[in-house]
Structure 1
Amino acid sequence: MANNPCIIIADDHPLFRSALCGTLQRELNEPQLIEAADFNSLQTAVEAHKTANLILLDLHMPGAEGFSALVFLTAHYAHIPVMVVSAMEEPDIIRRAMDHGACGFLPKSASIEDMTAALTAALAGNLWLPAGIDDTPAANEAELNIAESLARLTPQQFRVAAMVNQGLLNKQIAYELNVTEATIKAHMTEIFRKLGVHSRTQAVLAMAQLAINPNSTLEAFRSQALPLQ
């Protein structure tokens, strides 16, 4: 294994990041470890380290819905392998992660031996899955279609779309990104066009296809009785 691999760890739990960093430092040869606690800091980290060797990504990434952060990374930084590291170990979730371009799936309950094997495989450009998991496709057509559409968004459009998904209004998004409201409106026009929708509500419903549990997310959203605008 090469010396000094650059690895970005994207997880919102500081204790887990700290534990993972300790394991990586013991198991790898002087790794350069970059931490990100949410989607915005992940975007910043990847932009600053475009030659990173590996991204370790938790699916519960604040600021991104379900598999959307994975879709973003594999679309804009296809040269950097992304391994999902998650406490959710259901075969369906693992296979969906692979459908969206992950180079592997490492359960948080994995042994040190399995973690080392997974990292070695990923850093060597190989796929790695837990024992007993095959690569049978699991994502449905609607999910794959919205992933393809999201992949066409620019990084800034993706960030705006993620904020829309969190319920922020244009003026709030403009404030957060330090741009004008007119700029956000222009981004929204492009987001709607690329997603094939005509309203914020339709955009949120479309992006819900990438949730960990799409049906529950859609039902919860629709229960609010929000009209399509």
Structure 2
Amino acid sequence: MADDHDVVKHGVEAVVRQNFASPEIIKVSSTNELRNQLLAHKNVDLVILDIKMPGGNTVDIVKDIKANYADIKILMYSAHEEPQYAVNFIRNGADGYLSKSQPLQKIALAIKVLENGKRFIDESFQETLFDKKGESDLSLSNLLSHREFQILSLLADGKSNIDISEELNLQKSTVSTYKKRIMQKLNINTNIGLVDAYRTDFKITAS
């Protein structure tokens, strides 16, 4: 259980102990602690991860876990209810996304869904993320505005802010503003991350 708020960790621990037989629970408060515990314990089945943690970008943590511990399930536990956060973490390897605004008992349901090999998406996102057939069309072109997607595609082509401003007849400061907005929507803070997001654009399906 990785969260920098003790009250959250204790609440989640209580629910897990009520619903699962004799679980071993390790609680950490930073990404560095999480990395160290994963190295020390080879039998971790699940990481419940707050999306904002001291010590590093949690998107990178998700990628690292999936690259080095393929069998570990990751459930993002978030105070952010904007759907782009769920999309971004699922795209980068998380197995589930649950809002902290949901009843605490939902943690048990989410874990059981992941145990059965399915993806868990908080029902509060279902209407936004999925159509009536349980399919999603949340590619980056839908998540971003037309202009934002246009600028992202040019950045992915290696264009600089100046190049883009000249090509689209925009002020350089306007391009910078769009770029900042794209990074905020995708929860990405590097140019490399933006390029990677563009190249790995995806469509997700409901569990």
- Name the TM-score, length of structure 1 as normaliser: 0.56
The aligned residue for residue 60 of structure 2 is 68
Unpaired runs of at least 5, structure 2: 131-135, 157-179, 191-207
The aligned residue for residue 78 of structure 1 is 70
Q: Which runs of structure 2 are paired with 1:117-156 in the superposition (5 Å)?
A: 117-131=109-123, 132=126, 133-134=129-130, 135=136, 136-138=138-140
Aligned equivalents of 1:210, 1:31: Cα separation in 2:
40
Alpha-carbon contact 2:73-2:114 (below 8 Å) kept? yes
The number of equivalent residue pairs is: 148
Q: Which runs of structure 2 are paired with 1:110-189 in the superposition (5 Å)?
A: 110-131=102-123, 132=126, 133-134=129-130, 135=136, 136-138=138-140
Aligned equivalents of 2:117, 2:188: Cα separation in 1:
35
Q: Deviations over 1:113-148 (max 9, x none)?
A: 532221101122211101213353448997xxx9xx
Label 1:44 to 1:117 Cα distance change in 2 as closer, same or farther (>3 A): same
SS at structure 1 position matched to 2:98: strand
Alpha-carbon contact 2:2-2:30 (below 8 Å) kept? yes
Unpaired runs of at least 5, structure 1: 1-8, 147-207, 219-229
Label 1:125 to 1:64 Cα distance change in 2 as closer, same or farther (>3 A): same
1:43 aligns with one of 35, 39, 64: 35
The aligned residue for residue 27 of structure 1 is 19
Label 1:216 to 1:48 Cα distance change in 2 as closer, same or farther (>3 A): closer
Label 1:34 to 1:210 Cα distance change in 2 as closer, same or farther (>3 A): farther
> In the alignment, residue 103 of structure 1 is paired with which amino acid?
D
Quote how far apart the aligned CAs of 1:27 are: 1.8
Aligned equivalents of 1:31, 1:101: Cα separation in 2:
24
Q: Deviations over 1:41-77 (max 9, x none)?
A: 1001111222211110111111112422212212221
The aligned residue for residue 95 of structure 1 is 87
Label 1:38 to 1:209 Cα distance change in 2 as closer, same or farther (>3 A): farther
Q: Pairwise CA RMSD of aligned residues?
A: 3.3
> In the alignment, residue 122 of structure 2 is paired with which amino acid?
P
Once the two structures are aligned, what percentage of the paired residues are identical?
24
Alpha-carbon contact 2:49-2:76 (below 8 Å) kept? yes
